[in-house]
Amino acid sequence: MAIVGEEYCSAEERVLTVRKTSHFSPGDGFAAYDHRTGGLAFRADTYGRGHGGGAAYAGELALLGPAGEALITVRRRRPSLHQRWEGYLGARADGQKPLFSARRSSILGGAAAGAVVELLAPLPASFSSTHAAAAELLRVDGSFPRRCCRVVAPKAESGGEAAVVAEIRRKVDEGARVVMGRDVFVLRVGAGFDAAFAMAIVLVLDQIAGDEADGNAGEETNRAMIW
């Protein structure tokens, strides 16, 4: 299911370790490393500070490849009661139509209420009509602030079951037998699903969560021992 590009779709499940690199504002710094190779797969920066992608629109977020190329740009749509965000392929240009939009599932419940991600027309040419029917609307179940949620594609019109295409979980250091803090977590991308698009969803979820990701500090900000 290529959305950004076929090169980001793997025949096998892909596991990324995601590290939040900045706390000045939600989402303005992320680095994602491939579990298999250990190499940098994606990073994220805020536009308007002279960082990657060659754009200078304040408040926009850029998902970049390892070489600094802009893959997706996300920005908040205003006004929006549901915290609606829009994503654009590459470095967004004036007049460009969004590739997808994302919003809270409900005004009530905050980020813990989940989110809805909608792919907007025209869909990429890589989609078949069968894939498009199943992928036009994705939902995020669970709590991103607690780093425990999954991205689910609904049933296709032809039948079948809903499929989990990506999942976010807390990072576990098996050697030290501890659960890492929320600044480091795991993104599992299902076989055939676009890892760059999955990472763009992470950026949006972090923006939707906002300060909720820093609330309930307690055990959430510390490492928990596994016995």
Q: What is the pTM of this model?
A: 0.80
- Cα separation, 153 vs 136, in Å, equals 9
b/e burial code for range 142-179 (CB count within 10 A of at least 16 → b)? bbbbbbebbbbbbebeeeeeebebbbbbbbeeeeeeeb
Peptide bond into 79 cis (omega under 30): yes
- Cα separation, 50 vs 79, in Å, equals 27
Residue 23 is predicted with a pLDDT of: 55
Q: In what order do the strands lie in the sheet with 178-179?
A: 172-173, 178-179, 224-225
- Cα separation, 172 vs 4, in Å, equals 29
Q: Which residues of the chain have pLDDT under 70?
A: 22-28, 47-58, 79-82, 106-113, 121-135, 155-160, 176, 211-227
Alpha helices per DSSP H over 58-173: 129-135
- Six token digits for residue 83: 């915290």
Amino acid at 125: A
CATH number of 6-215: 2.40.160.200
- Give Cα separations from 140 to 14, 106, 170, 187, 202 (angstroms): 19, 12, 16, 13, 10
Residue 105 is predicted with a pLDDT of: 77
Residue 98 is predicted with a pLDDT of: 92
Residue 185 is predicted with a pLDDT of: 96
- Six token digits for residue 23: 């706390």
Residue 79 is predicted with a pLDDT of: 64
